[in-house]
Structure 1
Amino acid sequence: MKIIDRYILKRYLLTFFTMILLFIPIGIMVDVSEKIDKMIANQAPTSAIIQYYIDFTFYFANLLFPIFLFLSIIWFTSKLANNTEVIAILSSGISFTRFLKPYFIGASIIAVFAFMMSMFIVPAASQGYNDFRIKYLKGGRDKDRETNNIFNQISDNDYVYVSSFRPITQTGYNFTLEHFEETELKYKISASSIRWVEDDSVFRLASYKKRIIGPENDILISKARHDTLFEFNLDDLTPVSYVAETKNLFELNKFIEEEKRKGSPNISRYMVVKYKRWSLPISAFILTIIAVAVSSMKRRGGMGVNLALGIALAFVFIFFDKVFAIMAEQSNFSPLLAVALPNIIFAIIAFYMLQNAKR
């Protein structure tokens, strides 16, 4: 590796991590100022608050990864351009493509770092972040579960339905369980409500009815109240909306397969999370090309113009990323296409801007 490659690569990595170290404390200070009252009101322990902000750091660093990467490259490349270092490098006979080599090495390092973070570190941070948020910032009111018209296949033979669910009281209403053997219904359990009783570790059913389907006559069992056990828990019945974000690479693949078997209506949401983790390293290369193309030319407005353009492009990228993700979650739009489209669109932009930069 030549001296110029080491010089650019060092600036690439140093500026990226410095950008993170500068902005994350600001984000923490803003978050503290907004939420300290709720933390005190809900008596959050100091150790839990410290762990929350450790998780907060990883969670938001991953979330804002495109902006940090984009701005850091524009920042140090604009300084190179303003100091006429880029002109000097290209005038020495080095092609623009060769000039990009240390940028691609840096993007490769960042891509591996981002991949490992998103697959194995951020899921645990997401779990801790959301657990604290629900327990101490929402006062234990879990608002991130599906609560209406919940249908789930809990085993190969059993199907469960509740019309509504209240996480606070752990109660479901208009409960139905149907047990099939092959394609034949064997029995059906219904109740006006089902509630998990923590002290007794049982499910309590009100207005309990069980119909056993016989070859000639059915058997009907009715009780005002019935305590029993089932082969499912509340997390199986109503997983939180962010459940996929809390699972690592291997856990997520297994979880998605199980949810497909159950016929979960949230498969698209989970697939978007999975594909985003794989697309994040690819975006590192695309954003690197665009950032270099934007900032390698010396402009009359200086670094400010490059930063303004960079911030605008970064937010457009995040906007497309969010819009297509919502489309996939709320409609029949392909999750893979929803995740790939922002990278495809910006890859085309990167190619066009790169050709102009070479000229």
Structure 2
Amino acid sequence: MKKLDIYISKNFIKSFLLSLIAFINIFILSQLFKIIRYITEGRMTILQSLTYILYLLPKIFIEVTPLAILLGSLMCINKMASNLEIISLKTSGISFRRIVRYPIIISLLISCIVFQVMNKVYPSTLLKSRALRAGREISERVMPITKKNAFLRTEENIVYYIKNIDRVKNSAETLQIIKLDKDFKNIEEIITAKNAEFDSNKNIWKLKEVVINNFKNKTQKTKKNYEDITLNKNPSEFITIQGDPDELTNAEIASAIRNIRTTGGDVKEPMSVLGKRYSFPFASFIVSFLGLSLGSRYVRGASAISIALSVGLGYSYYIVQASFEALSVNGILNPFISGWIPNVIFLGLGIYFMRKAEY
């Protein structure tokens, strides 16, 4: 790294940190009225309120980092432009892309930090902050005792539908069990039962008031009691641990998605959260192109313009990102595609302005 790179990098990091601290303070101040109300209502003590603010810091850091990168980029390069340093460097044959190389690399590293915070730190602190706000003890997630409309597909190509299941009582009401062929195309048998109990010793469901429709033999039978050794799925396998996807790590969300798909649930919300986890952290890297290129020309009253540009462009990104996130939650777009569309749009704008800054 040359002296020029060290000089630019130091100024960029300094501008970024000042912007980050300023935005974090603004967000904390916006929460103070709520916190004061929690204290006066007796929902929190002063010590708990301070802990609550600490738990909010990862969330605030994630949300304001793109704005801080944008403003820091504008301030750093605009200061150099106002001192005629940019013009001097260009005149000496150094391209603008060469000038901003290290700020862009630093922005990428900051994006990687945001990714790790969003994955490993944010979920646990969000869970704890919500517990404090609700005035309850922080506890481990527990598996629900009952579930309605439970689905499960087994490796033996058996599909269960159970209207009500209780994993503690090992009981179920209104069952429909569909057996398919090995290619999972044709239905061989449908078994319906009014209720059932799971025998833990035999590891088998004992069905009651049963109707068996065999499509291979084209027969129908009714039985008061029925047992089948292939019907051996434990009630706990029909129920997954419930929770807000935002409170889970990436690995836990991926695992939850697999479990939800197995039990026939809706995966749009956790998929949307996972898509955002892999796209939003890199907004900091992408907006750096905009900040660095737009700050390259000296303009009188640059500080006010820098702040206005950073706020305007930053919130434009958030609006576009939220719009595409809504499309993914509604199942209109793939969550990973919708998460990266805003990044691609703003990266395209950044590259365009970066090319303009060369002249």
Pairwise TM-score range, normalised by the shorter structure: 0.7 to 0.9
**In the TM superposition, what is the alpha-carbon distance from 1:113 to its structure 2 partner?**
1.1
**In the TM superposition, what is the alpha-carbon distance from 1:257 to its structure 2 partner?**
1.6
Matched, 1:19 2:24: no
Identity rate, percent: 19
Whole-Å Cα distance in 1 between the matches of residues 44 and 311 of structure 2? 36
Q: Paired residue for 1:169?
A: none
**In the TM superposition, what is the alpha-carbon distance from 1:89 to its structure 2 partner?**
2.6
- Secondary structure (helix, strand or coil) at the match of 1:217 reads strand
CA RMSD in angstroms comes to 3.3
For residues 1-359 of structure 1, what are the structure 2 equivalents within 5 Å? Answer: 1-133=1-133, 135-136=134-135, 151-153=149-151, 156=154, 158-161=160-163, 178=175, 180=177, 182=179, 184=189, 186=191, 188=193, 211-213=209-211, 216-219=221-224, 231=236, 236=241, 239-240=242-243, 243-265=244-266, 267-359=267-359
Summarize deviations over 1:3-40 as a string: whole Å, max 9, x none: 12112212222322332223323322331213422344
Amino acid at match of 1:4: L
Whole-Å Cα distance in 2 between the matches of residues 121 and 12 of structure 1? 26
Query: Is contact 1:151-1:264 (8 Å) kept?
Result: no
Whole-Å Cα distance in 2 between the matches of residues 181 and 233 of structure 1? 15
Q: Which protein is bigger by CA-based radius of gyration?
A: 2
Tell me, which stretches of 5 or more residues in structure 2 are unaligned?
A: 137-146, 165-171, 181-188, 196-206, 213-219, 226-233
Amino acid at match of 1:136: G
Amino acid at match of 2:333: F
Whole-Å Cα distance in 1 between the matches of residues 238 and 40 of structure 2? 32
CA 1:152/1:48 → structure 2, altered by over 3 Å: closer, same or farther? farther
- Secondary structure (helix, strand or coil) at the match of 1:333 reads coil
Query: Is contact 1:158-1:177 (8 Å) kept?
Result: no
Q: Paired residue for 1:144?
A: none
- Secondary structure (helix, strand or coil) at the match of 2:298 reads coil
CA 1:210/1:297 → structure 2, altered by over 3 Å: closer, same or farther? farther
Query: Is contact 1:252-1:274 (8 Å) kept?
Result: yes
Summarize deviations over 1:292-351 as a string: whole Å, max 9, x none: 111111013422123212221111111000000001111322212211110111121112
Whole-Å Cα distance in 2 between the matches of residues 64 and 178 of structure 1? 50
Whole-Å Cα distance in 2 between the matches of residues 125 and 357 of structure 1? 41
**In the TM superposition, what is the alpha-carbon distance from 1:280 to its structure 2 partner?**
3.2
How many residues in Structure 1 have an aligned counterpart in Structure 2?
307
**In the TM superposition, what is the alpha-carbon distance from 1:100 to its structure 2 partner?**
1.6
- Secondary structure (helix, strand or coil) at the match of 2:297 reads coil
Query: Is contact 1:178-1:185 (8 Å) kept?
Result: no
**In the TM superposition, what is the alpha-carbon distance from 1:218 to its structure 2 partner?**
4.4
Whole-Å Cα distance in 2 between the matches of residues 292 and 160 of structure 1? 58
Tell me, which stretches of 5 or more residues in structure 1 are unaligned?
A: 138-148, 163-174, 191-208, 221-228
Query: Is contact 1:294-1:310 (8 Å) kept?
Result: no
Whole-Å Cα distance in 1 between the matches of residues 190 and 39 of structure 2? 51
**In the TM superposition, what is the alpha-carbon distance from 1:58 to its structure 2 partner?**
0.6
